[in-house]
Chains A and B, each alone.
Chain A
Amino acid sequence: MELKEIKCPHCGHVNPPGTQLCQSCGLMINEDYDKNKIKDVMRYDGSAVRSKVKSQSIFDKIWIFFTSIRNGVIIIALIAIAASIGTILPQQYFIPIGVDPETYYSDNYGTFGLIYYKFGFHNLYSSWWFVLLNAMLALSIIAASVDRGVPLYKSLKNQRAKKHPSFFKRQRITLNSETADSEDVNKIIDGLKSKRYKLTEEGPHLLFEKGRLSRWGPYINHTGLIIILIGSMLRFFPGMYIDEILYVPEGETVEVPTTDNKYYIKNEKFILDTYEKDSGSVFDKSLAMQGDLASNYQTNITFYENLSSDVVGSEPDLKEIDTDEIRVNHPFKFENYDIYQSSFDNSSMKSMTFKLVDKNDKQVGEEFTVDLKDPESTYEIDEQTNIELRAYAPDFQEIGERGELISQSPVARNPAFVFQVNNDSLTTPEISLLQIQNTDEITPNNEYKVKFVSMENQIATVLTLKKDLTMHLIAVGFIIFLIGVFIGSYINHRRIWINKENGLSLAAHTNKNYYGLKKELNSVLNENGFDFVNDKDEAEHDDRMKG
Chain B
Amino acid sequence: MQHTFLQISNTSIFIAFILLLIALVPLALSIRSKHEERNSKIAVGIVIVAFILELVYFAFRWAATGHAPVSNLFEFIAMFSIMLIAGYLITYVYYKTKVFGLFAIPISLILLGYGSIFSTDVAPLIPALQSNWLFIHVTTVTLSYGILSMSAVAGFIYLLKIIPADEKSLRARMLEFLMWNIVVVFAFIISISVMRGIGYQNDFLYVDQTGNNAIAEYHLPSLINYNDAQAVNHLGDNQYEAADHFNLGISLPPIIKAHSLNTVVWSIILGTVLYGILRLGFRRRLYTVVKPLAKSADLNLMDDIGYRSVIIGYPLFALGGLFFAAIWAQEAWSRFWGWDPKETWAFITFMFYTIFLHLRLNIGYEGEKSAWLAVIGFLIILFNMIAINLIVAGLHSYA
Contact = CB atoms under 8 A, between A and B. Distances in A.
A pairs with B: yes
A429 to B, nearest CB: 45
Interface string B122-145: 111111101100000000000000
A80 B351 contact: yes
Contacts of B355: 73, 76-77, 80
B127 A294 contact: yes
A416 interface: no
Contacts of B124: 275, 283, 286-287, 293, 295
Interface residues of A, number: 60
B300 A282 contact: no
A151 B2 CA distance: 64
Given A79-B351, A329-B131, A489-B311, A87 B388 contact: yes
Interface string A82-113: 01101101110110000000000000110000
Interface string A358-392: 00000000000000000000000000000000000
A356 interface: no
Contacts of A69: 358, 362-363
Contacts of A93: 338
Nearest to B300: A541
Contacts of A478: 318, 322-323, 326
Interface in A18-64: 39
A83 B344 contact: yes
Contact of A329 (B121, B300, B312, B331): B331
Contacts of B130: 328-329
Interface in A466-487: 466, 468, 471, 474-475, 478-479, 481-482, 485-486
Contacts of B354: 76
Contact of A125 (B300, B335, B339, B352): B339
B336 A471 contact: yes
Interface of B: 2-3, 6, 64-65, 119, 121-128, 130-131, 253, 255, 300, 304, 311-312, 314-315, 318-319, 322-323, 326-327, 330-336, 338-339, 341, 344-345, 347-348, 351-352, 354-355, 358-359, 362-364, 388, 392, 394
A294 B128 CA distance: 10
A86 B347 CA distance: 12
Contact of A474 (B64, B126, B336, B392): B336
B278 to A, nearest CB: 32
A90 B255 contact: yes
B324 to A, nearest CB: 11
A126 to B, nearest CB: 9
A87 B344 contact: yes
A341 B333 CA distance: 9
Contacts of B126: 293-295
A466 B334 contact: yes
A295 B66 CA distance: 14
Contacts of A282: 2-3, 6, 64-65, 122
A198 interface: no
A154 to B, nearest CB: 20
A485 B128 contact: no
Contacts of A296: 127
Nearest to A36: B364
Nearest to B383: A84
A23 to B, nearest CB: 23
30 contacts: A69-B363, A70-B363, A72-B358, A73-B358, A76-B358, A77-B355, A80-B348, A80-B351, A83-B339, A83-B347, A83-B351, A87-B341, A90-B255, A90-B394, A91-B339, A108-B255, A243-B335, A282-B122, A283-B122, A283-B124, A286-B124, A289-B119, A293-B123, A327-B127, A342-B334, A464-B334, A468-B336, A478-B323, A485-B315, A485-B318
Contacts of A482: 315, 318-319, 323
Contacts of A94: 394
Task: Give 4 nearest A-B pairs by CB, closest first.
Answer: A328-B127, A80-B351, A286-B123, A340-B334
